[in-house]
């Protein structure tokens, strides 16, 4: 068992703030991350997209409707244009580059970086995004950083590009334990799986644990969802309300 998994299993569950304290500040900003770190969180989950000029930035959706531009996409603009569009008067809530995020937070807690590779982007951009993420993270001998994606081909590419880096496959809500069984045979390089809490049960947790895989669940916000994750003994619990998850865990 590798050092990362041993560390994750040293506690019942580690609480990761979903895009920072996103109910207290604009998600995926330094303000949200700093507010999350006021709690005793174990990690931060964030999302990576590419600007038009291929700068890796933190943004969850492709669309810019959160800043009132419903018909515009994150990749319609170069990075400097995005800086001018997204809260330019607030350094704490302006768009952040992945490079700055890693520099500011990787030594303060664990990081789970989701590379947002979806079908609307060409594969060349999928691969550029993954290369940038891996290059910026570096060798990461302390294993403070995990990289995840819903795009299995992107994780295959990442493994070829940087064998040994801890990669997490995110399950869609329609995937089942049978999909997990197949992947445990066909994609043994995967460090772990991140599952929707509604579809996670003891059987899939036992299966993944038997293969020494890291088990994450998203997004646990209600008391029932958080309690379920804690009872299942998952490694990582991702929540929009990390303070609630911490309170329930510590009880």
Are residues 51 and 79 in contact, defined by beta-carbon separation less than 8 angstroms? yes
Residue 8's pLDDT band (boundaries 50, 70, 90)?
A: very low
Q: How many residues are there in the chain?
A: 251
Tens of pLDDT, residues 165-218: 999 999 999 999 999 999 999 999 999 999 999 999 999 999 999 999 999 999
CA–CA separation, 36 and 23 (whole Å) = 10
Residue 104's pLDDT band (boundaries 50, 70, 90)?
A: very high
- Position 140 scores a pLDDT of 64
Phi, psi dihedrals of residue 108, rounded to the nearest 5°: -100, -25
Residue whose entry in the numeric block shows the structure tokens 């409707």 = 65
Q: If you average pLDDT over every residue of the chain, what do you get? A: 94
Domain count, the chain: 1
Tens of pLDDT, residues 32-58: 999 999 999 999 999 999 999 999 999
Question: Taking the CB of residue 42, how many other CB atoms lie within 10 A of it?
Answer: 21
CA–CA separation, 52 and 15 (whole Å) = 33
Range of the domain at 45: 3-250
Note the pTM of the prediction, 2 decimals.
0.94
- Average pLDDT for 13-37: 97
Phi, psi dihedrals of residue 112, rounded to the nearest 5°: -120, 110
- Position 119 scores a pLDDT of 87
CATH code for the domain of 155:
3.20.20.190
- Position 141 scores a pLDDT of 59
CA–CA separation, 60 and 68 (whole Å) = 15
């Amino acid at each position: 068992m590798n050092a990362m998994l041993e560390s994750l299993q040293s506690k019942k569950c580690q609480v990761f703030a979903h895009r920072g304290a996103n109910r207290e500040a604009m998600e995926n900003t330094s303000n949200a991350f700093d507010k999350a770190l006021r709690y005793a969180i174990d990690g931060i989950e964030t999302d990576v997209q590419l600007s038009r000029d291929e700068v890796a930035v933190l943004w969850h959706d492709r669309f810019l409707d959160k800043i009132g531009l419903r018909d515009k996409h994150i990749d319609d603009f170069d990075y400097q244009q995005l800086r001018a569009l997204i809260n330019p008067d607030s350094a704490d809530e302006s768009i952040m580059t992945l490079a700055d995020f890693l520099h500011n937070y990787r030594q303060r807690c664990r990081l789970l970086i989701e590379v947002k590779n979806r079908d609307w982007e060409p594969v060349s951009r999928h691969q550029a995004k993954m290369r940038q993420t891996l290059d910026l993270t570096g060798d990461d001998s302390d294993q403070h950083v995990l990289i995840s994606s819903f795009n299995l081909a992107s994780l295959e590419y990442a493994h070829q590009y940087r064998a040994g880096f801890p990669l997490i496959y995110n399950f869609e809500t329609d995937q089942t334990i049978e999909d997990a069984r197949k992947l445990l045979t066909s994609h043994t390089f995967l460090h772990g799986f991140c599952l929707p809490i509604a579809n996670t049960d003891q059987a899939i947790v036992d299966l993944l644990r038997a293969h020494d895989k890291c088990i994450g669940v998203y997004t646990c916000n209600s008391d029932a969802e958080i309690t379920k994750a804690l009872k299942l003994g998952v490694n990582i619990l991702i929540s929009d309300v990390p303070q609630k998850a911490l309170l329930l865990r510590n009880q």
